[in-house]
Amino acid sequence: MYVGCHLSSSKGFAAMGKTALSIDANTYQFFTRNPRGSKAKDWDPADVAAGNALRREHGFGPIVAHAPYTINACSAEESVREFARQTLGDDLHRLEAVEDCYYNFHPGSHVGQGAETGIDQIADTLNAILWPEQTTTVLLETMAGKGSEVGRTFEELRAIIDRVELSDKLGVCLDTCHVSDGGYDVVHNLEGVLEEFDRILGLDRLKALHINDSMNPLGAHKDRHACLGEGTLGLDFFYAVVDHPILHRLPLLLETPNELEGYAREIALLRAHDGKGA
């Protein structure tokens, strides 16, 4: 099982690997740059190589680079879309040095333009930055449907993928808090939701999970993460994820409201359950 959490990238790749090891994680997620700031710090090639080596040595699973959540590929303003294009493209090129890494981003908010226009603009952005030889798979994150977020439904993600030429470079990251907020009842019908995912997107597109409990009920469209067992999804749901034959093989990443200690506790909880379930 590959389980980990979101980590600060401020000290670099080797440091993130060591921090992950210290909390018994064998995957992790990080922001490619300060979510608020625009300029990315340069990555030290020696540090990236040391991070790669550490992960190989300790049998880590794939890791996830998260794009800044402040970019919007379907803003009504061309300058904002251009900034998203630049940021995503620049990150993607830098990530070629990072082994076994996904690049996750929030598709965007259409800000009143309508989902159709949003979907077109997100696809345009991806068509502008993907290239045939890239090795990093780009993940569209399932969204809560807060405000005018695109990507609340599997159909919207499908529509984006269908408009992208190099769609073999695309996958999906399923956020458990977000899909519940989006109206998918994963607690009572995990199998049914996954069947729907498979029918619309294909389960082979599913590359990673954000495992967050939710402060709000099904369909709330609020996007407030809770610690495991302290929200409306509940601990048994996360045990069902760990027990699931397909989900079990994917990187499971915590984005719960925690410091490192809390993450260590949640990772220990999941590991203690691993192998004990159905």
- Residue bearing tokens 């603009």: 121
Q: How far apart are CA 196 and CA 133, in angstroms?
A: 31
Span 133-162, contacts to Fe ion by CB under 5 A: 141
Binding part of the chain for Zn ion, among 17-25, 111-119, 222-230, 264-272 by CB under 5 A, reads: 222-230
213 binds Zn ion (CB under 5 A): no
Which span (112-120, 167-175, 226-234, 241-249) binds Fe ion, by CB under 5 A? 167-175
Q: Which stretch binds Zn ion (CB under 5 A): 101-109, 217-225, 233-241, 270-278?
A: 217-225
Quote the least distance from Cβ 255 to Zn ion, whole Å: 7
Identify the bridge partners of residue 139 per DSSP, sorted by sequence position.
104, 171
Stretch that binds Fe ion, among 6-14, 204-212, 257-265, 267-275 (CB under 5 A): 204-212
Interaction of residue 181 with Zn ion, rule CB under 5 A: no
- Residue 223 site contact among Zn ion, Fe ion, none (CB < 5 to 8 Å, cut-off depends on kind): Zn ion
Select from Fe ion, Zn ion, none the partner in contact with residue 210, using the beta carbon and a kind-dependent cut-off of 5 to 8 Å: Fe ion
In contact, 251 and 270? CB cutoff 8 Å: no
CB 263 → Fe ion: shortest distance, Å?
15
Distances 67 to 29, 51, 88, 186, 263 between C-alpha atoms, Å: 10, 19, 7, 26, 21
Residue 63, both tokens: 């890791």
Q: Is residue 199 classed as helix, strand or coil in its secondary structure?
A: helix
Residues 173-202 that bind Fe ion (CB under 5 A): 175
Question: Site for Fe ion (CB under 5 A): how many residues?
Answer: 3
Binding residues for Zn ion, rule CB under 5 A, total 1
Rounded alpha-carbon distances, angstroms, from residue 213 to 26, 181, 188, 228:
21, 11, 14, 5
Smallest gap, in angstroms, from Cβ of residue 276 to Fe ion? 27
Query: Nearer Cβ to Fe ion, position 169 or 210?
Result: 210
Q: Nearest-CB residue to Zn ion?
A: 223
The alpha carbon of 13 is separated from its chain's Cα centroid by a whole number of angstroms, namely 18
- The first and second tokens of residue 218, run together, are 């099904």
> Do 116 and 75 form a contact (C-beta atoms < 8 A)?
no
Stretch near Zn ion under the rule CB under 5 A, chosen from 1-9, 21-29, 103-111, 219-227: 219-227
**Minimal distance in Å, beta carbon 210 to Fe ion?**
4
- Is residue 210 a contact point for Fe ion (CB under 5 A)? yes
Q: Which residues contact 152 (CB under 8 A, 6 or more apart)?
A: 142, 143, 144, 145, 178, 182, 183, 221
Binding Zn ion (rule: CB under 5 A), the pick from 99, 149, 181, 223 is 223
**Partner from Zn ion, Fe ion, none contacting 152, C-beta within 5 to 8 A by type:** none
Q: Is position 141 an interface residue for Zn ion (rule: CB under 5 A)? A: no
Q: What are phi and psi of 96, to 5 degrees?
A: -60, -25
Q: What are the angstrom distances between the C-alpha of 27 and each of 54, 70, 97, 219?
A: 11, 24, 17, 29
Chain positions contacting Fe ion, by CB under 5 A: 141, 175, 210
Chain positions contacting Zn ion, by CB under 5 A: 223
